[in-house]
Amino acid sequence: MSMIQTVVRHIILVVCVCLLVGCTSDHAGASPTIAPFWRDRIDQILADPSTSAFERQVLSDYAVTDAEFHEAQQLFSQCVADQGWTVVFTDSGYTITATPGGGHDDEFPPASLNQDCQIGSLNYIEPIYRGLRDNPLGLTPAQTIRACYEQHGVPDADGLSEDEFTALLNDSDYHPSTPAGVLCFWDPTGAEGLTQQQADGFEAHKGG
């Protein structure tokens, strides 16, 4: 038997054994590589004694899958429904409305409903899920906007330190110098799906 045939036969044997009994390695169960910002944030959550068993289970591997996020949404939805309200999820969040016949005359739910139902469901899971998806490097808002500016040739951050640029962004009199800058300011990662027209509308009413 040639050396190549021997190697191929060994590889096939190893694959078959793994399929039958499962294989382990020094990295089995290791958490994925994530930005220090997100790792530190999840460490803080896991160290919080008020964190629920469900949240601990989800975050123990330092990741949130689509299925786990959906499960958190269902827990939140059930809590809201138990109080006579209905939640509708969107790509960027959710809205809560009164369930017909639910015994609520108010158009808007009390703030306590959202706060109470968030606990143990979406409270920690949603920001981590969306953050890892939309900002995997764990950049600050100013860093995220600067990266967008650099990508689209917006010069407003050129030569400014992070503190200086942050102060500029927080100045109510500041308006990005280009249309691309306006869109970067309001939706730097594109996660909100804003159009240029929508971003221009937000900018026109900023500080108003």
Band the pLDDT of 88: cuts 50, 70, 90.
Answer: very high
d(C-alpha 77, C-alpha 58), whole Å? 18
The pLDDT tens digits of the residues spanning 162-207 come to 999 999 999 999 999 999 999 999 999 988 889 999 999 999 988 6
Residue 3 has pLDDT above 60, yes or no: no
Greater model confidence, 118 or 6: 118
Contacts for 207 with CB less than 8 Å, ≥ 6 apart: 172, 173
* CB atoms closer than 10 angstroms to residue 52: 16
The pLDDT tens digits of the residues spanning 105-118 come to 667 788 899 999 99
pTM given for the model = 0.68
